[in-house]
Amino acid sequence: MNDRVAAAPVVTIDGPGGAGKGTISGLVAERLGWHLLDSGALYRLTAQAAVKHNVAVDDELGLARLAEQLDVAFPVEEGQPRTLLEGEDVGQVIRTEQAGERASQVAALPAVRQALLQRQRDFCQAPGLVADGRDMGTVVFPDAALKIFLTASADERARRRHLQLQEAGVNASLSSLLKEIQARDARDTQRSVAPLKPADDAITLDTTRLSIPEVVDRLTELLAQKGLVSGV
Protein backbone atom coordinates (compact mmCIF):
# COMPACT_ATOMS: atom_id res chain seq x y z
CA MET A 1 0.00 0.00 0.00
CA ASN A 2 1.38 3.41 -0.87
CA ASP A 3 2.31 6.17 1.60
CA ARG A 4 -0.79 8.21 0.88
CA VAL A 5 -3.06 5.33 1.88
CA ALA A 6 -1.06 4.85 5.07
CA ALA A 7 -1.15 8.59 5.86
CA ALA A 8 -4.91 9.14 6.17
CA PRO A 9 -7.58 6.99 7.84
CA VAL A 10 -10.07 5.19 5.60
CA VAL A 11 -13.58 3.99 6.39
CA THR A 12 -14.94 1.51 3.86
CA ILE A 13 -18.70 1.04 3.48
CA ASP A 14 -19.54 -1.96 1.31
CA GLY A 15 -22.77 -3.82 0.78
CA PRO A 16 -25.54 -4.74 -1.64
CA GLY A 17 -27.57 -2.25 -3.67
CA GLY A 18 -30.34 -0.55 -1.69
CA ALA A 19 -28.69 -0.91 1.72
CA GLY A 20 -28.19 2.86 1.94
CA LYS A 21 -24.44 3.03 1.28
CA GLY A 22 -24.54 6.19 -0.84
CA THR A 23 -26.72 8.20 1.55
CA ILE A 24 -24.89 7.03 4.67
CA SER A 25 -21.41 7.54 3.16
CA GLY A 26 -22.26 11.11 2.13
CA LEU A 27 -23.62 12.01 5.56
CA VAL A 28 -20.67 10.45 7.42
CA ALA A 29 -18.16 12.20 5.15
CA GLU A 30 -19.95 15.52 5.67
CA ARG A 31 -20.11 15.07 9.44
CA LEU A 32 -16.39 14.26 9.65
CA GLY A 33 -15.24 16.74 7.00
CA TRP A 34 -13.56 13.84 5.15
CA HIS A 35 -13.26 13.10 1.44
CA LEU A 36 -15.84 10.85 -0.23
CA LEU A 37 -15.32 8.17 -2.89
CA ASP A 38 -18.35 6.84 -4.77
CA SER A 39 -16.50 3.96 -6.40
CA GLY A 40 -19.56 2.72 -8.30
CA ALA A 41 -19.66 5.97 -10.29
CA LEU A 42 -16.08 5.68 -11.57
CA TYR A 43 -16.81 3.32 -14.49
CA ARG A 44 -19.71 5.52 -15.56
CA LEU A 45 -17.47 8.59 -15.27
CA THR A 46 -14.72 6.93 -17.32
CA ALA A 47 -17.29 6.14 -20.02
CA GLN A 48 -18.57 9.73 -19.90
CA ALA A 49 -15.01 11.08 -20.18
CA ALA A 50 -14.53 8.81 -23.21
CA VAL A 51 -17.55 10.41 -24.91
CA LYS A 52 -16.27 13.88 -24.07
CA HIS A 53 -12.77 13.19 -25.41
CA ASN A 54 -13.80 11.02 -28.39
CA VAL A 55 -12.18 7.83 -27.10
CA ALA A 56 -13.82 4.63 -28.38
CA VAL A 57 -15.30 2.27 -25.74
CA ASP A 58 -13.15 -0.59 -27.08
CA ASP A 59 -9.88 1.42 -27.04
CA GLU A 60 -8.51 -0.28 -23.92
CA LEU A 61 -5.23 1.65 -23.67
CA GLY A 62 -6.88 5.00 -24.45
CA LEU A 63 -9.54 4.36 -21.80
CA ALA A 64 -6.91 3.25 -19.27
CA ARG A 65 -5.02 6.52 -19.80
CA LEU A 66 -8.27 8.44 -19.28
CA ALA A 67 -9.02 6.43 -16.12
CA GLU A 68 -5.56 7.14 -14.67
CA GLN A 69 -6.04 10.89 -15.09
CA LEU A 70 -9.77 11.01 -14.33
CA ASP A 71 -10.59 14.47 -12.94
CA VAL A 72 -13.50 13.64 -10.64
CA ALA A 73 -14.77 14.80 -7.27
CA PHE A 74 -17.68 13.94 -4.97
CA PRO A 75 -18.35 17.06 -2.87
CA VAL A 76 -21.11 16.71 -0.27
CA GLU A 77 -23.53 19.60 0.15
CA GLU A 78 -26.30 19.41 2.76
CA GLY A 79 -25.86 15.65 2.98
CA GLN A 80 -26.20 15.13 -0.77
CA PRO A 81 -23.11 13.98 -2.71
CA ARG A 82 -22.57 15.62 -6.11
CA THR A 83 -20.64 14.01 -8.97
CA LEU A 84 -18.23 16.30 -10.82
CA LEU A 85 -16.30 15.39 -13.98
CA GLU A 86 -13.72 18.01 -14.95
CA GLY A 87 -15.64 20.48 -12.78
CA GLU A 88 -19.03 19.78 -14.42
CA ASP A 89 -21.93 18.22 -12.48
CA VAL A 90 -22.76 15.02 -14.36
CA GLY A 91 -24.77 13.29 -11.63
CA GLN A 92 -27.87 12.98 -13.83
CA VAL A 93 -26.06 12.31 -17.12
CA ILE A 94 -24.20 9.23 -15.86
CA ARG A 95 -27.34 7.60 -14.46
CA THR A 96 -29.07 7.07 -17.82
CA GLU A 97 -29.50 3.59 -19.25
CA GLN A 98 -27.17 4.45 -22.15
CA ALA A 99 -24.44 5.59 -19.73
CA GLY A 100 -24.88 2.35 -17.79
CA GLU A 101 -24.42 0.30 -20.96
CA ARG A 102 -21.21 2.17 -21.85
CA ALA A 103 -19.95 1.74 -18.28
CA SER A 104 -20.57 -2.00 -18.49
CA GLN A 105 -18.41 -2.21 -21.64
CA VAL A 106 -15.65 -0.15 -20.02
CA ALA A 107 -15.71 -2.23 -16.82
CA ALA A 108 -14.96 -5.40 -18.81
CA LEU A 109 -11.49 -4.12 -19.80
CA PRO A 110 -8.68 -5.33 -17.46
CA ALA A 111 -6.39 -2.34 -18.10
CA VAL A 112 -9.20 0.04 -17.13
CA ARG A 113 -9.96 -1.91 -13.94
CA GLN A 114 -6.28 -1.76 -12.98
CA ALA A 115 -6.05 1.98 -13.70
CA LEU A 116 -9.18 2.67 -11.66
CA LEU A 117 -7.88 0.61 -8.74
CA GLN A 118 -5.00 3.07 -8.38
CA ARG A 119 -7.29 6.04 -9.08
CA GLN A 120 -9.53 4.94 -6.20
CA ARG A 121 -6.54 4.68 -3.87
CA ASP A 122 -5.53 8.20 -4.88
CA PHE A 123 -8.67 9.48 -3.12
CA CYS A 124 -7.08 8.62 0.21
CA GLN A 125 -5.95 12.03 1.42
CA ALA A 126 -5.94 13.87 4.76
CA PRO A 127 -7.94 14.29 6.88
CA GLY A 128 -9.55 10.96 5.85
CA LEU A 129 -11.70 9.09 3.33
CA VAL A 130 -15.12 7.45 3.35
CA ALA A 131 -15.14 4.91 0.51
CA ASP A 132 -18.50 3.58 -0.71
CA GLY A 133 -18.64 0.47 -2.89
CA ARG A 134 -18.73 -3.29 -3.11
CA ASP A 135 -15.07 -4.29 -2.76
CA MET A 136 -13.61 -1.32 -0.89
CA GLY A 137 -12.68 -3.29 2.25
CA THR A 138 -11.70 -6.50 0.47
CA VAL A 139 -9.75 -5.27 -2.59
CA VAL A 140 -9.18 -1.51 -2.76
CA PHE A 141 -8.43 -0.63 0.88
CA PRO A 142 -7.63 -3.91 2.65
CA ASP A 143 -5.80 -1.96 5.41
CA ALA A 144 -8.71 0.43 6.14
CA ALA A 145 -8.99 1.57 9.76
CA LEU A 146 -12.71 0.70 9.89
CA LYS A 147 -14.63 -1.58 7.54
CA ILE A 148 -18.42 -1.60 7.50
CA PHE A 149 -20.63 -4.01 5.61
CA LEU A 150 -24.02 -2.33 5.33
CA THR A 151 -26.94 -4.59 4.59
CA ALA A 152 -30.73 -4.83 4.85
CA SER A 153 -33.30 -7.47 3.99
CA ALA A 154 -34.16 -7.82 0.30
CA ASP A 155 -37.78 -6.88 1.14
CA GLU A 156 -36.68 -3.66 2.83
CA ARG A 157 -34.29 -2.73 0.00
CA ALA A 158 -37.08 -3.30 -2.54
CA ARG A 159 -39.44 -1.14 -0.45
CA ARG A 160 -36.87 1.69 -0.30
CA ARG A 161 -36.24 1.52 -4.05
CA HIS A 162 -40.00 1.51 -4.73
CA LEU A 163 -40.42 4.62 -2.58
CA GLN A 164 -37.48 6.30 -4.33
CA LEU A 165 -39.03 5.64 -7.74
CA GLN A 166 -42.47 6.82 -6.63
CA GLU A 167 -40.96 10.08 -5.39
CA ALA A 168 -39.30 10.48 -8.80
CA GLY A 169 -42.67 9.94 -10.48
CA VAL A 170 -41.78 6.50 -11.85
CA ASN A 171 -44.28 3.63 -11.68
CA ALA A 172 -42.74 0.33 -10.63
CA SER A 173 -43.95 -3.00 -9.30
CA LEU A 174 -42.72 -3.83 -5.81
CA SER A 175 -42.71 -7.58 -6.57
CA SER A 176 -40.64 -7.01 -9.75
CA LEU A 177 -38.17 -4.85 -7.84
CA LEU A 178 -37.81 -7.57 -5.20
CA LYS A 179 -37.09 -10.18 -7.88
CA GLU A 180 -34.48 -7.89 -9.50
CA ILE A 181 -32.75 -7.32 -6.15
CA GLN A 182 -32.70 -11.04 -5.34
CA ALA A 183 -31.25 -11.84 -8.78
CA ARG A 184 -28.59 -9.15 -8.43
CA ASP A 185 -27.65 -10.39 -4.95
CA ALA A 186 -27.18 -13.90 -6.34
CA ARG A 187 -24.99 -12.61 -9.20
CA ASP A 188 -22.91 -10.35 -6.96
CA THR A 189 -22.22 -12.94 -4.27
CA GLN A 190 -21.52 -15.83 -6.66
CA ARG A 191 -19.28 -14.15 -9.26
CA SER A 192 -15.70 -15.42 -9.50
CA VAL A 193 -13.98 -11.99 -9.51
CA ALA A 194 -14.30 -9.92 -6.31
CA PRO A 195 -17.60 -11.44 -5.12
CA LEU A 196 -19.70 -9.27 -2.82
CA LYS A 197 -18.89 -10.36 0.73
CA PRO A 198 -17.86 -8.70 4.00
CA ALA A 199 -14.12 -8.41 4.64
CA ASP A 200 -13.01 -10.80 7.38
CA ASP A 201 -12.51 -7.86 9.75
CA ALA A 202 -15.64 -5.89 8.73
CA ILE A 203 -18.45 -4.95 11.10
CA THR A 204 -21.84 -5.87 9.61
CA LEU A 205 -24.63 -3.36 10.20
CA ASP A 206 -28.16 -4.44 9.33
CA THR A 207 -30.11 -1.26 8.54
CA THR A 208 -33.49 -2.98 8.00
CA ARG A 209 -34.99 -1.46 11.16
CA LEU A 210 -32.68 1.53 11.57
CA SER A 211 -33.27 5.10 10.47
CA ILE A 212 -30.57 6.96 8.54
CA PRO A 213 -29.59 9.16 11.55
CA GLU A 214 -29.31 6.03 13.72
CA VAL A 215 -26.89 4.42 11.25
CA VAL A 216 -24.79 7.61 11.00
CA ASP A 217 -24.65 7.84 14.82
CA ARG A 218 -23.61 4.19 15.08
CA LEU A 219 -20.79 4.69 12.56
CA THR A 220 -19.61 7.80 14.38
CA GLU A 221 -19.52 5.79 17.65
CA LEU A 222 -17.44 3.08 15.97
CA LEU A 223 -15.01 5.70 14.64
CA ALA A 224 -14.68 7.20 18.13
CA GLN A 225 -14.02 3.73 19.60
CA LYS A 226 -11.19 3.32 17.07
CA GLY A 227 -9.77 6.68 18.14
CA LEU A 228 -10.28 8.10 14.65
CA VAL A 229 -12.51 11.00 15.64
CA SER A 230 -13.27 12.97 18.77
CA GLY A 231 -15.97 15.42 19.66
CA VAL A 232 -18.01 14.86 16.48
SS3 171: coil
Q: Distance between CA atoms of 49 and 45, rounded to whole angstroms?
A: 6
Q: What is the rounded CA–CA span in Å between residue 5 and residue 85?
A: 23
Q: Are 13 and 130 spatial neighbours (Cβ–Cβ below 8 Å)?
A: yes
Sign of the CA dihedral 21, 201, 136, 141?
positive
Give which of 147, 156, 158 is closest to 204, Cα–Cα: 147
CB contact at 8 A, 64 and 115: yes
125 confidence band (pLDDT: 50, 70, 90): very high
- Residue 40 is predicted with a pLDDT of 83
- pLDDT tens-place string over residues 33-76: 999 999 889 989 999 999 999 999 889 999 999 999 999 999 98
Q: Is 155 helix (H, G, I), strand (E, B) or coil?
A: helix
Would you state the pLDDT for residue 3? 44
SS3 172: coil
User: Which CATH class, in words, describes the domain spanning 3-216?
Assistant: alpha beta
* Per-residue pLDDT reduced to its tens digit, 35-44: 999 988 998 9
Residue 5, pLDDT > 60, answer no
Buried b (16+ CB within 10 A) or exposed e, 47-76: bbbbeeeebebeebebbbbbbbebebebeb
